């Protein structure tokens, strides 16, 4: 019996504690997790295996998440991938900046463990669309 492959989610997050939390929460969803701890690693993962969704920490050690998002949204092969920004120390205007860079969704840390999975799932079932 063949079943459709579970959607893949690339999580770009350099903080091991946050990565562990995301991994734990996403274990509730039928998805395949790909993990990257830097922008360079994220680009390598995207090259190797196009994900269905990206969760993007905006504060990364090598490149900022907004630049990385712009880069992915400018490229023909990757612009269709929905990107949800994850940011700590959110300030007024940050969500607008993330949206302007091409992020389709926006979540602030600490993550709300109750609403996280339903929020992420919307971007999997509505591939390429997402909320506006
Ligand atoms: Mn970070």
Q: How much distance in Å is there from the Cα of 128 to the middle of ligand 1?
A: 25
Give residue-wise pLDDT tens across range 85-127: 999 988 899 999 999 999 999 999 999 999 999 999 999 976 5
Share of the chain above pLDDT 70, in %: 92
Answer whether 0.75 is exceeded by the pTM: yes
Partners of 11 in beta bridges: 35, 55
Rounded to the nearest angstrom, the distance between the alpha carbon of 109 and the centre of ligand 1 is 10
**Average per-residue pLDDT in the chain?**
93
Per-residue pLDDT tens digits for 49-61: 999 999 999 999 9
Distance 32 CA to ligand 1 centre (A): 22
The rounded radius of gyration (Å) of the Cα atoms in the chain is: 14
């Amino acid at each position: 019996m063949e079943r459709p492959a579970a959607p893949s989610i690339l999580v770009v997050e350099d903080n091991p504690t946050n990565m562990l939390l995301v991994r734990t929460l996403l274990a509730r969803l039928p998805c395949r997790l790909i993990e990257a701890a830097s922008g360079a690693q994220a680009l390598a993962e995207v090259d190797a295996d196009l994900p269905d969704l990206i969760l993007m920490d905006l504060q990364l050690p090598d490149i900022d998440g907004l630049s990385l998002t712009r880069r992915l949204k400018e490229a023909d092969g990757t612009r269709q991938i929905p990107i949800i920004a994850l940011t700590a120390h959110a300030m007024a205007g940050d969500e607008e900046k993330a949206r302007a860079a091409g992020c389709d969704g926006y979540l602030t840390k600490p993550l709300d463990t109750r609403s996280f999975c339903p929020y992420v799932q919307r971007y999997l079932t509505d591939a390429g669309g997402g909320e506006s």
